[in-house]
């Protein structure tokens, strides 16, 4: 995505800014919560996000403003990068630490075995979307059905994991980094790795560090957003080609 220089660009006629705001989402907020904060605090009528982050996840959330909202499909199609932590020995119904433990207690694999299994997930792989996800089947979000104890059949989808590597181990915890295509669920990667290791696993931490060319080091924190004046907000908006 080509970025343009003028960070004070506004939609003709509306007065609303047009472009991308990189927000560093905090734990405990939904992606919609962040969009709603931007709308209310800065009186912006047209805003959306490009790529949901779970409430327990942190990191890069792209907020699209004004005419940039029409580019959401473009941003969703770009690769994402994450850092994550998983816990071995416990599988949960949600795939993360917010869920109920449904199995565990098996012996821990060796560090060498863990690194070898991670290598198996590099490249084109098929992944079944987790029940606790925002994916819709039959017009209904999976997580809403999961909360009612329902399970529905989900077809595996092909995804691309262009990079995955272990960055640290303090068993039962394993830290790792992933670069992947759209539609990849990191919690499902943790669950699948745990199954292949034979001990079960679930995700305990997740941070999106990059979405396309937009990186976390350029993000405005939610705490900072709550203090910014509208003029200062404009200084942080990135104008992109196609939002003219």
Q: Catalytic residues, which ones?
A: 54
Determine the 3-state secondary structure of 107 from DSSP: coil
Q: Give the count of beta carbons closer than 10 Å to the beta carbon of residue 207.
A: 19
Task: Name the pairing type of β-strands 201-211 and 58-65.
Answer: parallel
Tokens of 168: 């640290």
What is the rounded distance in angstroms from the CA atom of residue 157 to the CA atom of residue 164?
Answer: 18
Using an 8 Å Cβ cutoff, are 227 and 50 in contact? no
Task: Give 5-10's long-range contacts (Cβ < 8 A, gap of 24+).
Answer: 5/239, 6/239, 7/234, 7/235, 7/236, 7/237, 7/238, 7/239, 8/234, 8/235, 8/237, 9/237, 9/239, 9/243, 10/66
Tokens of 208: 């999106």
Angle at 134 between CA 156 and CA 143, to 5 degrees: 95
């Amino acid at each position: 995505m080509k970025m343009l220089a003028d960070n004070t660009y506004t939609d003709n006629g509306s007065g609303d800014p047009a472009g991308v705001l990189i927000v560093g989402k905090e734990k405990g907020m939904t992606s919609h919560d962040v969009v709603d904060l931007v709308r209310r605090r800065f009186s912006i009528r047209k805003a959306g996000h490009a790529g949901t982050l779970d409430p327990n996840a942190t990191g890069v959330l792209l907020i699209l403003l004004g005419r940039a909202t029409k580019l959401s499909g473009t941003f969703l199609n770009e690769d994402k990068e994450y850092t994550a932590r998983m816990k071995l020995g416990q599988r949960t119904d949600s795939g993360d630490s917010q869920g109920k433990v449904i199995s565990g207690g098996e012996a821990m694999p060796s560090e060498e075995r863990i690194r070898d299994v991670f290598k198996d997930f590099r490249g084109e792989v098929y992944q079944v979307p987790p029940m606790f996800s925002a994916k819709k089947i039959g017009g209904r979000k999976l997580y809403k059905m999961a909360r009612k104890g329902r399970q529905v059949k989900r077809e595996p989808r092909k995804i691309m994991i262009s990079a995955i590597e272990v960055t640290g181990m303090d068993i039962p915890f394993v830290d790792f980094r992933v670069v992947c295509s759209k539609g990849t669920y990191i919690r499902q990667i943790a669950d699948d790795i745990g199954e292949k290791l034979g001990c079960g696993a679930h995700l305990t931490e997740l941070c999106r560090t990059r979405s396309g060319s937009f990186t976390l080091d350029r993000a405005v924190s939610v705490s900072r957003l709550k203090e910014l004046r509208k003029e200062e907000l404009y200084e942080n908006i990135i104008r992109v080609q196609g939002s003219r």
